[in-house]
Structure 1
């Protein structure tokens, strides 16, 4: 029977799982499998598992319960082993790595930061700071038929926007990284130019949130800075 894996903990974790349940319909019963030093919280894997809201919520609830009582390595949604024996074999094979990760994240929380900037504000800055953009902009206004110049202007603006977003992202990460144990920068998206995760010691979470607030104050209303957390340390497992 395939085994669904929720998280890995140290063998001495309380593993208090009352009140939470596994994925599937009906909800799978949670159990643990263990090696000498590690445990994995698992259940039977549904045959038709999909990322439905109910199942994703159940997956996260198990991890949140474990993290409330101690260190846990949250596994991604949908991770399935061939059977319990294969899961135990993986615990034994990767023991050193899992133990090291548990020690690192045990006293930490993850915070995710997404940052966007008002497009008009960014374009005004590009025009103000780039003589070539101003030249091409003036030329195409005077001569609407100048197609080559219009293409060149569009390409140049795109390059300037990207360069400023990359620079802004590096500055923001550099400003906040000293308050974190580790940092992981993900891919940007259409609605945000920075997607960064920070591993923060539990006792320093308030100071980290204050650092983000100070950064937001300095950047002003043109920037939208969204901080999500605390979260299970998905980005650092």
Structure 2
């Protein structure tokens, strides 16, 4: 029978699984598959599994419970294997890699930060700072602009927005990077100009959070900081 794989842990992890159930309806029972010094937490894989709220929550609850007792490699939702033996084979073949990652994630959690800026405030800043943008905007408002002026203004503003937001994103990451063991950025979406994950050790947690709050306060109300964590370090497995 196919098995659902939640995470991988080392031999020293206590793996307290009592009272925790897995994905599926009814909820599946958790068990471990052992190979050498590594253990995978698995359950029977329900048929037709989809990323529904109940199952996503169950998957996350398993990670959170085990993270509270030690370091694990949290696997993404939906990972399955053919059977327990297939899991053992992977644990054996990739043992060195998994042991190295467990050491790298020791006593760490992930924090994910997204930052956006009020669009109207940003446009006001560009018009205040750029003589060229202001002149083009004045021509359009006065009715004296040529047919190509709106396009020219739009292209100028787009370049300014990109340059400013790239600089802002780099500045935020640079300020937080000293308190993280590792860092990954992803393509921001919507109005966000930064989407970054930080791997933060327990002994740096307070400094990281204090610095993030200080940055948000310094940058002002026109910026929205959205920090999620501590989370299982999915981005660093």
TM-score by length of 1: 0.96
Match of 1:97 in 2: 97
Post-superposition offset of 1:143: 2.7
**1:26–1:144 distance in 2 versus 1, CA, 3 Å:** farther
Match of 1:191 in 2: 191
Post-superposition offset of 1:144: 6.2
1:62 and 1:150 map into 2 onto residues whose CA distance is 54
1:213 and 1:28 map into 2 onto residues whose CA distance is 40
Match of 2:200 in 1: 200
Match of 1:26 in 2: 26
User: What are the equivalent positions in structure 2 for 1:40-79 lying under 5 Å apart?
Assistant: 40-79=40-79
SS of equivalent residue, structure 1 residue 5:
strand
- Indicate if the aligned counterparts of 2:21 and 2:62 stay in contact, CA closer than 8 A: yes
Match of 1:171 in 2: 171
1:7 and 1:45 map into 2 onto residues whose CA distance is 14
Match of 2:225 in 1: 225
Stretches (4+) displaced over 3 A? none
- Indicate if the aligned counterparts of 2:139 and 2:145 stay in contact, CA closer than 8 A: no
Match of 1:235 in 2: 235
Unaligned runs of at least 5 residues, structure 2: none
1:136 and 1:184 map into 2 onto residues whose CA distance is 39
2:160 aligned with 1:160, yes or no? Answer: yes
SS of equivalent residue, structure 1 residue 69:
coil
Question: Alpha-carbon deviations, 1:187-236, whole Å to 9, x = none?
Answer: 10113211111111112211111011111121111111121111111111
- Indicate if the aligned counterparts of 2:165 and 2:193 stay in contact, CA closer than 8 A: yes
1:225 and 1:34 map into 2 onto residues whose CA distance is 42
Cα-Cα RMSD: 1.2
2:34 and 2:5 map into 1 onto residues whose CA distance is 12
1:21 and 1:205 map into 2 onto residues whose CA distance is 29
**1:144–1:20 distance in 2 versus 1, CA, 3 Å:** farther
Match of 1:180 in 2: 180
SS of equivalent residue, structure 1 residue 198:
strand
- Indicate if the aligned counterparts of 2:136 and 2:145 stay in contact, CA closer than 8 A: no
TM-score by length of 2: 0.96
State which drifts further: 117-126 or 141-150. Answer: 141-150
1:28 and 1:191 map into 2 onto residues whose CA distance is 40
1:26 and 1:225 map into 2 onto residues whose CA distance is 38
SS of equivalent residue, structure 1 residue 208:
helix
- Indicate if the aligned counterparts of 2:113 and 2:194 stay in contact, CA closer than 8 A: yes
Unaligned runs of at least 5 residues, structure 1: none
